[in-house]
Structure 1
């Protein structure tokens, strides 16, 4: 399968709906955990997040530095983790994040960690938090997020491939955190009051 060109976004992406009088646009980033922050390896491997030693699962290359930078600028502390997980995976996720000093290393508050039980449940969380940018490793999840203006399919932490022509016009794909950080920074104007 051929991979969609990195950083390509097709014209015609949807805008978020009108949010009411007095609402000001503040760029807010949402990030999935599995396959975006935590690298996904085969489920049979001991060091996979689903194996017997989940704390040893590696982070996706570059994630700590990129999120630390993005948390300062351009998202100014408005970065949230939104992950689909049942009780066991949620506990493993929290343990992994604390074991790797994720919150201290990135500046993202631990209170900005949100779990949902179904993938589609990320949509109301994103709407409630005013998320304007979201990064996930699953295109089906991004499809639910129709109030999120900028949706990024991250392929750097998984073995996923995108066939040529199969990427919807509302999605941008990338496979490294350095590339993703650049795309995110470019998508936010220097003065947040001036919407892109």
Structure 2
């Protein structure tokens, strides 16, 4: 099996504003939402050193936020800077909807800020919980042993390139 990486958007690629929201792109100034520190450089490194073209963005959102997400990715030159292409971006409407996408793409690694999402990704052997909220951990604590908790993109990149 060839390694393949999936990453979430809100709280992983985009700095969160409010952990109670599913996305960071509801606000009027959504294009100004900053990228998570180190995310772009880490993804470019991971493409060079491990995953090559087998990196994907998988996001749960509604139709309007899907359009805003695409716009944000273009505005921040995400595709040019990471090597990930638009056809490697996938959307679903429910948190559990990420699981069939991950299985279809053959993802071996996934990064999300929601333990609930990672609990559904049973076909993904290496799941990374990125800067989770304590409330999320409290609600889904039983799934914590199945994931690796990481607090930064530099920590994640080091773990994935060892």
Both proteins in one fold, TM over 0.5: yes
1:38 aligns with 2:8: no
Partners of 2:130 and 2:83 in 1: CA distance:
21
Q: What is the number of equivalent residue pairs in this alignment?
A: 153
Aligned position for 2:40: 64
**Any residues of structure 2 matched to 1:79-158 within 5 Å, and which?**
79-155=55-131
Match of 1:177 in 2: 153
Distance 2:105 2:18 in 1: 33
CA–CA separation in structure 1 for the residues paired with 2:144 and 2:33: 31
Structure 1 residue 141, shift from structure 2 partner? 0.2
- Please list every run of at least 4 consecutive aligned residues from structure 1 whose deviation after the TM superposition is greater than 4 angstroms: none
3-state SS in 2 of match to 1:131: coil
Question: Match of 1:42, SS?
Answer: coil
CA distance in 2 between counterparts of 1:42 and 1:63 reads 19
Could you say which structure has the larger radius of gyration? 1
Measured in 2, the distance between the counterparts of 1:153 and 1:63 equals 14
Query: Residues 50 and 101 (structure 1 numbering): CA distance in 2 closer, same or farther, change over 3 Å?
Result: same
Normalized per residue, which structure has more helix?
Answer: 2
| Offset, 1:42 | 3.3
Choose between structure 1 and 2 for higher RCO, CA contacts under 8 A separated by at least 6 residues.
1
Corresponding residue number in structure 2 for 1:77? 53
Residue 127 of structure 1, CA deviation? 0.4
TM-score relative to the length of structure 1: 0.75
- How big is the shift at 1:51? 1.1
CA distance in 1, matches of 2:104, 2:25: 29
Deviation, structure 1 residue 109: 1.1
Identify the residue that residue 2 of structure 2 maps to in structure 1.
Answer: 26
